[in-house]
Structure 1
Amino acid sequence: MTLAAGTEDNRQRVWIWLIACLGVIAVQMLVQHLMGRLWICECGYVKLWEGAVNSSGNSQHIADWYTPSHIIHGFLFYGLGHLLLRGKPLSARLLLATAIEAAWEIAENTPVVINRYRSATISLDYFGDSILNSTMDTLAMAAGFLLASRLPVAMTIALAIALELFTGWMIRDNLTLNVLMLVWPLDSVKVWQAGG
């Protein structure tokens, strides 16, 4: 086998993994459609950015204050893929990350999780994501994953901390607080998040 033939073979394998990633995202979209999720915001239009956290447009458009959390998911899933699939191509590890994120996006939009958000966090007006927003969350995770694959570990960690601190400062919520309040809600955190 010549070097050129080996390179071509590797490219084909990468494309197969990437097509599989797109297939996972398509399944995510289909399942959410079958769950009754709306494709876009009920308002009938699409915005690039929704900056109001406690609004009916949050989690309905392309990006919002929770997009950084999904980028951090990508950082974390890159690390997980590095541990579990050592020696496998980056595209195979991306498929694992995409499958995990898609599974979360589906679970996050079930009545059980939506009601948990509404009862345990300050997200009283949360009714789930639009399919567009959920898909963009998965793509934000993929962007974070690919970014982590290029950055030094220390820079990835510093960026994750910076994103957490910035969103925590701006909206009194971030990935860490989101997980904490879903798993082990604290009244003191809920009061602080509500501005108290």
Structure 2
Amino acid sequence: MTAAEFSPSSSSPKRWFLAALILFLLQIAILYAMGRIPICECGYVKLWEGGVNTSGNSQHLSDWYTPSHIIHGFLFYGLGWLILRRAPIAARLSLAVLIEAAWELLENSPLIIDRYRTATMALGYTGDSILNSAMDTVFMAVGFFVASRLPVWLTIAIAIFFELATGYIIRDNLTLNVLMLIWPVDAVRVWQGGL
């Protein structure tokens, strides 16, 4: 086989969608092997968890961090368009799922869980349930497909709206989350604590 036969543009979209599905299932299996709980320890599943600093946060189908994962999809669509422009959208989706799944595994590692506890407003964070983590990847895929259909300006406007709305409502968003993980700022921590 030649190198061209392995290129993203030469494979059928069905194979790339299958690759994305396999990556998604691997994410779930690895989280299970890491000892993550399948669903909330409360024993039930909610469509929406509105509490930010509650034991149900990051345990159910969706929460205040769902918009961040939709924005991941916007960003990963843009990345795929930049580096795999000639590839089918399914190949770009596979790249997006790979990145999101890798982040979900890292996010649920002791290293990042401890970092969240010490550097961000998530003082009692214990990691995601497998269900929540899987849904984070699903919402990323939703964002990916939305970005593939909408004009760039509208995708950017939605991302800005999500960031401003969650920043205002819960004093956290994707931008602040990344900032506080990488370079914690005391003034932001105080503001997020409502002090």
Q: TM-score, normalised by structure 2?
A: 0.94
Offset of residue 148 of structure 1: 0.2
Structure 1 runs (4+) deviating above 3 angstroms are none
Distance (whole Å) between structure 2 residues aligned to residue 169 and residue 154 of structure 1: 22
Distance (whole Å) between structure 2 residues aligned to residue 132 and residue 13 of structure 1: 30
What RMSD in Å do the two structures reach over aligned CA positions?
Answer: 1.1
Distance (whole Å) between structure 2 residues aligned to residue 122 and residue 101 of structure 1: 22
Offset of residue 13 of structure 1: 1.8
Q: Does 1:160 align with 2:162?
A: no
Offset of residue 103 of structure 1: 0.2
Residue of structure 1 in register with 2:83 after alignment: 84
- Can you give the 5+ residue segments of structure 1 that lack an aligned partner in the other structure? 1-9
Q: Deviations over 1:59-96 (max 9, x none)?
A: 00000000000000000000000011011000100000
Distance (whole Å) between structure 2 residues aligned to residue 15 and residue 171 of structure 1: 40
Q: Does 1:192 align with 2:184?
A: no
Residue of structure 2 in register with 1:176 after alignment: 175
Residue of structure 2 in register with 1:109 after alignment: 108
Identity of aligned residues (%): 65
Residue of structure 2 in register with 1:25 after alignment: 24
Residue of structure 1 in register with 2:5 after alignment: none
Offset of residue 161 of structure 1: 0.2
Q: Which moved more, 1:15-24 or 1:178-187?
A: 15-24
Paired amino acid for 2:176:
L
Residue of structure 2 in register with 1:48 after alignment: 47
Distance (whole Å) between structure 2 residues aligned to residue 49 and residue 195 of structure 1: 23
Paired amino acid for 2:44:
Y
Q: Does 1:98 align with 2:97?
A: yes
Q: Which moved more, 1:66-75 or 1:12-21?
A: 12-21
Paired amino acid for 1:158:
A
Distance (whole Å) between structure 1 residues aligned to residue 90 and residue 21 of structure 2: 12
Offset of residue 112 of structure 1: 0.4
Paired amino acid for 2:144:
F
Paired amino acid for 2:116:
Y
Residue of structure 1 in register with 2:136 after alignment: 137
Distance (whole Å) between structure 2 residues aligned to residue 19 and residue 62 of structure 1: 23
Q: TM-score, normalised by structure 1?
A: 0.93
Paired amino acid for 1:25:
F
Residue of structure 2 in register with 1:63 after alignment: 62
Offset of residue 14 of structure 1: 1.9
Residue of structure 1 in register with 2:4 after alignment: none
Distance (whole Å) between structure 1 residues aligned to residue 36 and residue 123 of structure 2: 18
Distance (whole Å) between structure 2 residues aligned to residue 142 and residue 122 of structure 1: 27
User: How many pairs does the alignment contain?
Assistant: 186
Paired amino acid for 1:58:
N
Offset of residue 16 of structure 1: 1.5
Paired amino acid for 2:14:
W
